[in-house]
Chains A and B, each alone.
Chain A
């Protein structure tokens, strides 16, 4: 079964949300529009809507996360769902119990949705293939493969700042593309939304093989890569990269690829700077940029809630509609 068939039902509705790859322009737009309608809710005094009342959502995190898990939890609560957080430390993992056993046990508690983060690429697909048909799976990050809700909240942020026409935008993603699930999902989302130009900027050690096949232009020089761009997305650099002989030092990385006010001068005057967080100040960018007027880093976090509400309500609706149809047919 292809990924598209796995996450979209025969009516074209989103059943699971595993990867951006293969989803249509109209589904991505629907996610953004739905998120827009929820953005108001999160700003209200009473921050709740009853859309998912009575539903149970399990946040199943096999990898540490603060931001993503918290915003998923808030999104679920604002939709009036019951939320259960389960953190499973992969290293001390589930003694003897297989992943599938873990899944079956949780299913037996009448769960309606799993939000899964796992260190292995393909983990969310694996869950989606094996859950009972009434359960939705949302990918909260699998290995280096995909982090689709992060990519959509970034698209939401770009649309809010730059307007709905992605065709006139140049976007550069800077940093560790190789190990980044965020970058992969962003690239698919930007291309599906017909972005004018998508660039990646990194030293060769951090660019995956055949990166151009993802639909990007590859740059190894920061100034050339961000020249005239409208949006710059900086990626987090993990310390392990120094040990894996990917880079010599944070110092040289910042010297060559760190974003400073001075460097920003070659970009479009209205350039927007983004980062999925958490930031290493002085490694990916200096504080002047991170806290400066072009940065929308904190807005990204806020938008994460609305986007996750949108995806949760859309996948649940696909299931509820399908169930209603079945009842009618009986």
Chain B
């Protein structure tokens, strides 16, 4: 990767153009009244087509994707994105469909939704899915709306609280707040699981339900899920499953069987659709049979959700079929445990035992701190990994550990890649022990070095201005 400094605005020259439009064969329509016309100049760049292509190609070369290298980003399931999926989603017979076309004109698209609904129901044990949500957090919000609607439909209006574990993804409490629910936090035990005894007194008749992910964000299976489900249901609440961590359960465990009533899936995680640098995703929400009547009251997006993403996920499911589904879960778990066992003598493993698709280290065992030199932190380890050609793991999440380093390898990485990662992680640990300054100054080999984030927030420059 090399540093490239231009912005598209700086490629602009008066009089250049990058468009090709048909000749105007129509009589000129009358002008808009002056009071309704744009008066301000339109400061868009003027660039030729080759300039545009070269500029964005140069930008892309400062980026790292799954196709570039290993991306062990915890809770993000950065698995390989199959290329056939891209081609299928680009078929003109799908891309050209207007969203308001009635079903009689879109039978192929409707069939995709039907088949996806059946497949996801089979994989998760839920009864019915809505595909409207455009991302995971959007799915959470939709699921919580359904949870509230369920209680409202039963005339049970006082259920305005939702229980969220302290290890939950940040989107869980945020989605609850958008949904008008009060968040009640439940603590984790030293073994990383929900404290069932602490949960019991929280289960009042004001609780709409609980949000959980299982395995949780430490990558640990919530072994008491059967008890938790019975307690929550007995108290009149519902269980929401955050599907961000569904990958290790593929083909092995179904959230519906564990007692969950509502869940979302991240098609851009578990079902191999590309993350696109931050979307588009798709967050379909599945519900148990008793919640089906709640679905029509909730409209959360423009039309039918992110259809293009749903097409990609469908192609992936067809490739998996019955035969390969289970391998996804098993190999993801195998790779995570293999890395954990290979590194736990140099990185602090706060909780022993088998993990699922991911696990969390709490920083280095020997961070190299000596005299006035501070030790190497998790941030330093992450930045040093970039020098060696790997993406960093998720850092400083979950919040339970101060130096959290969350590693998720997924099932699509080869043993050689994983071994190379392990070797580099060990090398970094050795560097830290020897001279933590090597890590403090990292990265050294990337297009840019560490940025001044404080100034960015204090004096925000959020758009291009000439001579800036």
Chains A and B come from one and the same complex = no
Instruction: State the A residues within 8 Å of B (CB).
Output: none
